[in-house]
Structure 1
Amino acid sequence: MATEPSDGHAAATGEPIYVDGEEALDQIVAENDVVLADFYADWCGPCQMLEPIVETLAEETEAAVAKVDVDANQMLASSYGVRGVPTLVLFADGEQVEEIVGVQGEDRLRSLIESYTN
């Protein structure tokens, strides 16, 4: 259905972008005005509850959504001070502007994203 554009702007697909490493996350943040980074773990029940919300936000908002597996990217998670999962980090204009720990409702996350995209 959606394909990856050749210029690396995967956010245009409306799907979460799975990140492997700090360089990949830095590139996504640099290429998009607003980025929601979801630091998650496959074994985390609350992360699984949050996943459909994050996927909806990727489809329906102007934010790029990055998914960061904390088990595969321990150094990256540590560099952002992630102590528990899920942790959502919101970037606007290349800067970290928000950090939210735990499952949040779609409405709250949508409002937060829209406060930076509008």
Structure 2
Amino acid sequence: MSSTDSAATPTKPVRIEARDELDALVSEHDQVLLDIYTKGCTLCQSIEPVLGTVAKATDVVVAMINPKTDITIAEEYTVRSVPTLLLFDDGELVGRLDDGFQGAQAIIDFVEGGGQ
């Protein structure tokens, strides 16, 4: 990651509302972790502070979107459950976690392992 990207990497999750905001983040940063959540989902609420830890511990940009604001994202990435985490690396989708709640270390390992 270049030093300019590193300086601009948020240290907490960024809430987005539309596909164009996701596209901008993915094009501006080497890695983006997208959390697809819904309001009222207890697992989604539980994972939010964990994502804050991930944002602080890694160089990944953590973004959050409720598919209610832009359903095309849920359709494009075939989201069947929440929370779903999608990892983009150099503009490409390289991994997904959709097994429910994950701890900070599991998500950090996922990000640092390039989605593996």
- TM-score after normalising by structure 1: 0.84
Which residues of 2 match residues 36-115 of structure 1 at below 5 A?
A: 36-101=33-98, 102-115=100-113
In 2: Cα distance, 1:111 partner to 1:22 partner: 26
In 2: Cα distance, 1:61 partner to 1:68 partner: 20
Which digits, 9 at most, give the CA deviation of each residue in 1:71-104, with x for residues without a partner?
Answer: 2222222111111110000011110010111111
In 2: Cα distance, 1:81 partner to 1:20 partner: 18
Which digits, 9 at most, give the CA deviation of each residue in 1:57-80, with x for residues without a partner?
Answer: 112210000101122222222111
| 2:9 matched residue in structure 1 | 12
In 2: Cα distance, 1:31 partner to 1:91 partner: 12
Q: Which runs of 5+ in 2 are unaligned?
A: 1-5
Number of residue-to-residue matches in the alignment: 108
Aligned-pair identity (%) = 37
Moved over 2 A (4+): 9-13
Which one-letter code corresponds to 1:73 in the other structure?
D
Q: Which runs of 5+ in 1 are unaligned?
A: 1-8
In 2: Cα distance, 1:71 partner to 1:11 partner: 28
Partner SS state of residue 13, structure 1: coil
Deviation at 1:11, TM superposition (A): 5.3
Deviation at 1:10, TM superposition (A): 9.4
In 2: Cα distance, 1:112 partner to 1:85 partner: 17
TM-align CA RMSD: 1.7
- TM-score after normalising by structure 2: 0.85
Kindly indicate whether the alpha-carbon contact (under 8 Å) linking 2:9 and 2:60 is maintained by their aligned counterparts in 1: no
Closer, same or farther: CA 49–39 of 1 in aligned 2, 3 Å = same
